[in-house]
Structure 1
């Protein structure tokens, strides 16, 4: 029975199916299985990845108080990771110090969670300290995951040359995850030359991953280099690669609804787009100006606003607004990174609708409330 829960809960975590996860928790609680370190950790992870960080924290203390798991690093790793994806890097570091005070020995997973948390919060000094502690105090040799986290830490903060030099100084051959972290940073900060260099390495070590072609294409598109965009897309097509379509999901009335970018087939399609047009008008009164740099097609200006408005997270958001009580929170799960224009729009929509809007994208959580995002516009 235990094995069943350990397989089911991660699936609900991935989908953001909170209501289904709550039902499983109820059954697990009846059998006291939540005190099993692995089942308990799966529940912690489920709550954290479904946006219920307070519940994850409460359960963590319940599980970690049990004597038989008190010295296990497993629940600690989970709660550190959960705080990291919500952008609470300082809390992750604080939890790590508490872990050490409790006499729990960290492992290689602990430091992956820590370094990732520092990266999402821009904590460069803390991240470098964690990397040092891992090697010098615990004699844990960095894996490629740790190196990738460090490159992401430097690159996400805009220190692209520092990230590149870090790669060049690695004692092991960098893999796709390391070069991919650099390429993603170049996408964020618009560095065409370094992005091109990183992509050459990526196409050598992992030529079948369409995501790298998409990132490079996006870098060129943002720079207005449409000829290069065409070449990258042609190269991907010639290799039989297809771009992963963007989708967002939202759970309403115990049903998970999935929206794809540009979706016109939903039964409430007309109501959804009517709501989006109304919200866009109200956003413009508050000073919203569409950022067309996030439209990665070479089309006319009047088409670009429609493309932005039909991004999957906005469709899911509008559906949530028309399908749930006023001022109730909305939780959305997206398979790709949220774009900058949708991020700005969601901040304004949270203010207009007086709702908390929680978005989990491929990188992290964003909590929008009263026109502000928990990430501080750093993600």
Structure 2
């Protein structure tokens, strides 16, 4: 269990709520959601709405939907005005009257920090975070299947068995790029992908689904057009 006793004892610094939010973000971003929740529960005073909102977004990133829904309820109780932020995480449905206004806000909220550009090829295993990337994709596939996703293996042209075809689709370059961005970008931030070929039908369907279950907008530029995936819908209207 992480604590701040040494800050007080050695430096005379009383930890603020920002310190607690930072630790939750550190643990949750690394996938240690149980440890993050344990840390929150042991905060010596009432956790702020920022703590729960941050943890909510991290739960959505890692596919822990039940924890995310529970956090959304806490955020609503602690600070109803935070509903706009919850909506970004896909946890609270928008009222019809708010759709246009909030959509503009989403489109005007690009990724705040872009430190590098990563390049991927289908089946690439050279990335330093390769194991985490593939583990995340496998986990997401299971969540996607729960809401009706069926891999379209006809896009795999090699003569291999069904399981190998599903693995091949999972390793398409755009999915590798997406998984790495999901692991490294701020919670709830927009994800941007450039692809020099036309996106395949299976990846297109997959991105629609993950945009809904994770509450993340995905902007992808392929060889023909821009695709804005949001809340399970693509701007191309499934015609590209």
Query: For this pair of structures, how many residues does the alignment match?
Result: 130
Runs of 5+ unmatched residues, structure 1: 1-249
Give the corresponding residue for 2:135.
274
CA distance in 2: counterparts of 1:290 and 1:303, whole angstroms: 12
User: For the residues of structure 2 that align with 1:280 and 1:251, how far apart are their CA atoms?
Assistant: 28
- 8 Å CA contact 1:350–1:368 kept in 2: the answer is yes
Mapping 1:217-256, distance limit 5 Å = 253-256=114-117
Match of 1:361 in 2: 222
Q: Residues of 1 paired with 2:152 and 2:113: CA distance?
A: 30
1:307 counterpart = 2:168: yes
Residue 252 of structure 1 contacts residue 323 of structure 1 at CA under 8 Å; is this kept in 2?
Answer: no
- Please name the residue that 1:373 is paired with: 234
SS state at 1:368 partner: strand
TM-score, scaled relative to structure 2 = 0.53
Distance 2:139 2:234 in 1: 22
CA distance in 2, matches of 1:257, 1:324: 13
**CA shift at 1:325, angstroms?**
1.3
Deviation at 1:252, TM superposition (A): 6.4
How far does residue 253 in structure 1 lie from its aligned partner after superposition? Answer: 3.1
Across the aligned residues of Structure 1 and Structure 2, the Cα RMSD in angstroms comes to 1.6
What SS does the corresponding residue of 1:316 show, helix, strand or coil? helix
Moved over 2 A (4+): 250-254
Q: How does 1:268-347 map to 2 (within 5 A)?
A: 268-347=129-208
Deviation at 1:341, TM superposition (A): 0.2
5+ unaligned residues in a row in structure 2: which ranges? 1-110
Higher CA-based Rg:
1
1:327·1:354 contact (CA, 8 Å) conserved in 2?
Answer: yes
1:251 and 1:331 in contact (8 A); partners too? no
Distance 1:352 1:286, change over 3 A: same
1:306–1:268 Cα change, 3 Å: same
TM-score normalized by the length of structure 1: 0.34
Cα 1:276–1:251 change in 2 (3 A) is: farther
- Highest RCO, 1 vs 2 (Cα 8 Å, sep ≥ 6): 2
CA shift, 1:251, in A, is 11
The answer on whether the counterparts of 1:251 and 1:257 sit within 8 Å (CA) in structure 2 is: no
When residues 320 and 367 of structure 1 are mapped into structure 2, their CA distance, relative to the original with a 3 A threshold, is same
- The structure with more helix, counted as a fraction of residues: 1
